[in-house]
Chain A
Amino acid sequence: MTHDRSPEARAPLTELSDAPRPTLAQRVGSKSVAPWIFIAPMLVFGAIFFILPLLYAGYISLTRWNGFTAPRWVGLGNYDYLLFTDPRFWDTFWNTIYFAAGTILIGVPLALVLAYAFTRAYGQAVWRSIYWLPYITNVVAVAYIWQFLLDDSFGLVNRALDAAGLPGPGWLTDPSIAMTTMILIFVWMQLGHNLLLFSAGLAGIDESYYEAARLDGAGERQLFLDITVPMLKPTLLFVLITNFITGLSYFVLMLVMADVAPQGPIKVTGLYMYEMAFSDQRLGRAAAAAYILFTVVLVVTLVQLRVFRRGGVEAH
């Protein structure tokens, strides 16, 4: 009895019916049934924890619901309220954009310069370990570490600035810079990750370009601007867009910092959604906020897909 499905091996039907019927164990362990068993856990999970939640969240967003009593259908009322009536939603939205844009404006150039130095330095494992420490540290620890460092009068940062004769700002207390502080802490957390992405991109640039340019007398600055940056464009785009998406979706640091920093300036849409859901029990409104923010993320993601399809980079 054979499980080979190639045409020449396929037996005529009459012959097959004479063969002994395969046992249940044989059938389950066969090439046609086994893959479904292998993939079953993922399919079941995908149904319960991916497709169902997406539909459920969509439904919740069309109702008024406190999580306990029966939801009341309000149609697009929640979306209408958030987009056209609620003054806070747009504040949180612009905070989100400010945060996401800030993380790439500060974080990406830093990571690029560091990666450029990193790929040509000795002791890569050591540098990499050091730059990765913040990325593998839990966000609660990050928040507390920086709360102590950034204490107005006695934190290490302001004491150092003071020693240098500079006025230390109220990093976490001044409403006009609290969000910038969040951006800087987030950049600190993500630097190692972006550095790694860039160093992978840099490793892909053929050394012969640099050698040829050096023979022509180019200095390091020229090498960086004339060879590295243009050759790195696909990686750069990838990092920029994925960082932007991460920034739009991020809110845990702000949530953990909410006690110490001024509330308004650091409230991003994700945090606004979370608080509406789990502090105010306005599930419908929160789900609608989540879907609005998701729409923005989706648009950026589609732009990314377009850019990369056109560039034909790293397609699997």
Chain B
Amino acid sequence: MAIVQASHRSAILWRIAKYGILSLGAIIMVVPFIDMFLGALRSPAERLARPPVYWPGDPQWINFKRVFTELPTLNWLWNSVYITLAVTLLQLVTSSMAGYALAKYRFIGRNMIFRTVLGAQMFPFFLFIIPIFFILRYFPLAGGNGLDGVGGSGFLNTYTAIILPFAVTWYGVFLMRQFFLTVPDELIEAARLDGANEFRIFWQIVLPLVVPGLATLGIFVFVYQWNEVIWTMTITRTAPDLQTLPVGIYLLRGAFTEEATKSLQQAAVAVSVIPVMVTFLALQRYYIRGLMAGSVKG
């Protein structure tokens, strides 16, 4: 009897501890974002006071307007949207095509190709930064280059250079293959007997069945590409017109050295975070599923 009581008491304690731990963690997750928003609303006088005023008494909502009028934010935003959507679309096309071939056809070398897809995911991105930079820089016949790859600037400072390295990802191919595997073979065979050619089968019969997979991959690529910094920064360092929001904000950091201007920087940071947050909160169901399918591959 005493044991049962003890375990009952421990269950109540555990319930308190459980929500206590989760709440404490949640505060640590959220407070930094609130701190950023408050910072964006602080007036120069509040920033320069010693100690600075924490709660903005006179919230400077105008900072969110100034971000667009005084900084090239509109241009950055456009680049972010354009590049993110282009990469997302390209990956949906290439991943679903390759994933379908690997899932539903038998052909010479299929297993070897699939093993390469799995193995290639283990190569870290840092290994590719230098060679891909110079492959694009000295790409034959691009950007004024001759056949030998010199003479012009190649793909340097072009959208192509930002987008192309992300046009296909091994992860995307792997993920779509997993979704295509769930499509019954009988359905495809029946369509063949009806005389449909392979492309019509893919487009009209199979693809509609993997829309959840496309949604998963789409949202995953969207979030990844919106937040991509290292490659975009490397390739657009000398091309301010092509920079995305995070890259632009980082490379313009020299403009925010004065304490009074830092509210504007924090407002710009908030603008770079909001689109992806809204997208994520709206579609998180698909996002989580994509990550699970990709992470636990063993």
1/0 per residue, CB under 8 A from B, across A55-99: the answer is 011001000000100000000000000000000000000000000
A287 contacts across to B, CB distance below 8 A: 130-131
B25 CB–A CB distance under 8 Å: yes
Find out whether the CB atom of B130 lies under 8 angstroms from the CB atom of A60: yes
A52 CB–B CB distance under 8 Å: yes
B205 CB–A CB distance under 8 Å: no
Find out whether the CB atom of B234 lies under 8 angstroms from the CB atom of A278: yes
- Given A57-B128, A132-B280, A255-B230, list of 9 further CB < 8 A pairs? A35-B107, A54-B127, A129-B280, A130-B30, A132-B284, A133-B33, A146-B32, A249-B125, A286-B130
Find out whether the CB atom of A29 lies under 8 angstroms from the CB atom of B227: no
User: Which A residues lie at the B interface, using CB under 8 A?
Assistant: 3, 25-26, 29-32, 34-36, 38-39, 41-43, 45-46, 48-50, 52-54, 56-57, 60, 67, 110, 113-114, 117-118, 120-121, 125, 127-134, 136-141, 143-146, 148-149, 153-154, 156, 159, 188, 191-193, 196-197, 200, 214, 217-221, 238, 242, 245, 248-249, 251-252, 255-256, 259, 270, 273-274, 277-278, 283, 286-287, 290-291, 293-294, 297-298, 301, 308, 313-316
Bound Cα distance from A193 to B291, whole angstroms: 9
Find out whether the CB atom of B126 lies under 8 angstroms from the CB atom of A293: yes
Find out whether the CB atom of B98 lies under 8 angstroms from the CB atom of A34: no
Find out whether the CB atom of B97 lies under 8 angstroms from the CB atom of A42: yes
Find out whether the CB atom of B130 lies under 8 angstroms from the CB atom of A39: no
Most B CB contacts (10 A, CB to CB) among A39, A43, A127, A294 go to A39
B190 CB–A CB distance under 8 Å: no
Q: Tally inter-chain residue pairs, CB-CB below 8 A.
A: 267
Task: Name the residue on A nearest B26 (C-beta).
Answer: A130
Find out whether the CB atom of B227 lies under 8 angstroms from the CB atom of A139: yes
Find out whether the CB atom of B11 lies under 8 angstroms from the CB atom of A220: yes
- Known interface pairs A38-B97, A219-B10, A314-B296; A127-B273 also in contact (CB < 8 Å): no
Find out whether the CB atom of A145 lies under 8 angstroms from the CB atom of B32: yes
- Known interface pairs A259-B253, A294-B127; A48-B135 also in contact (CB < 8 Å): yes
Find out whether the CB atom of B246 lies under 8 angstroms from the CB atom of A114: no
Most B CB contacts (10 A, CB to CB) among A36, A286, A291 go to A36
B165 CB–A CB distance under 8 Å: yes
Bound Cα distance from A259 to B252, whole angstroms: 13
B277 CB–A CB distance under 8 Å: yes
How distant is B26 from chain A, measured CB to nearest CB, in Å? Answer: 5
Q: Which of A38, A136, A315 contacts B100 (CB 8 A)?
A: A38
A46 contacts across to B, CB distance below 8 A: 116, 120, 168
How distant is B99 from chain A, measured CB to nearest CB, in Å? Answer: 9
Q: Which of A41, A214, A217, A286 contacts B97 (CB 8 A)?
A: A41
How distant is B214 from chain A, measured CB to nearest CB, in Å? Answer: 15
**25 A-B residue contacts at CB 8 Å?**
A30-B197, A34-B101, A35-B198, A41-B167, A53-B132, A53-B135, A54-B131, A113-B21, A114-B21, A130-B30, A131-B25, A134-B32, A136-B223, A136-B280, A140-B246, A144-B265, A156-B54, A217-B3, A217-B7, A220-B10, A249-B125, A249-B126, A251-B126, A252-B229, A308-B298
1/0 per residue, CB under 8 A from A, across B11-39: the answer is 10110011101100110111111011001
Find out whether the CB atom of B105 lies under 8 angstroms from the CB atom of A34: yes
Task: Name the residue on B nearest A224 (C-beta).
Answer: B14
A133 contacts across to B, CB distance below 8 A: 29-30, 33, 277
Find out whether the CB atom of A42 lies under 8 angstroms from the CB atom of B6: no
Most B CB contacts (10 A, CB to CB) among A30, A38, A143, A287 go to A38
How distant is B54 from chain A, measured CB to nearest CB, in Å? Answer: 8
- Known interface pairs A26-B197, A249-B125; A315-B21 also in contact (CB < 8 Å): no
Find out whether the CB atom of B101 lies under 8 angstroms from the CB atom of A121: no
B258-298, CB < 8 A from A: 262, 265-266, 269, 272-273, 276-277, 280-281, 284, 288, 291-292, 295-298
Find out whether the CB atom of B6 lies under 8 angstroms from the CB atom of A38: no
Q: Which of A38, A48, A114, A197 contacts B295 (CB 8 A)?
A: A197
B239-255, CB < 8 A from A: 245-247, 249-250, 253
Most A CB contacts (10 A, CB to CB) among B13, B137, B229 go to B229
Find out whether the CB atom of B298 lies under 8 angstroms from the CB atom of A238: yes
Bound Cα distance from A143 to B253, whole angstroms: 12
B217 CB–A CB distance under 8 Å: no
B113 CB–A CB distance under 8 Å: yes
